[in-house]
Chain A
Amino acid sequence: MKPAKFDYYCPKTVDEALALLEEIGFDGKIIAGGQSLVPIMNMRLSTPEYLIDINQLKDLQFIELDGSKMKIGALTRQTEIEMSDAVRKHLGLLSEAVPYIGHVQTRNRGTFGGSLVHADPSAEIPLSLMALGGTLHIASKEEVREVNVEEFFVTYLTTDIMPNELLTEIHVPVPEGRTGYSFHEISRRHGDFALVAAACQLSIDDQDRISKVRLVLGGVDAVPLLITDASVMEGEHLSAPLLNKIADMVDEAVNPESDLHATADYRRHLAKQLAVRTVKTAYERARGENNERS
Chain B
Amino acid sequence: MSITVSNISKSYKSVKALENISFNVKEGELFGLIGPDGAGKTTLFRILTTLLIANEGTATVADFDVVLDYKKIRNNVGYMPGKFSLYQDLTVEENLNFFATIFGTTIEENYDLIKEIYVQIEPFKDRRAGKLSGGMKQKLALCCALIHKPKVLFLDEPTTGVDPVSRKEFWDMLKRLQQKGITILVSTPYMDEAALCDRIALIQDGKILQIDTPQAIVKHYPKKIYNVRADNTYQLIKSLKTYEYNHSVYPFGEFVHYTDRRADFNPKDLIQFLESNNLSNVEIEKTVATIEDTFMELAK
| A and B assemble together | no
Interface residues, chain B, CB within 8 Å of chain A? none
A interface residue numbers (CB < 8 A to B):
none
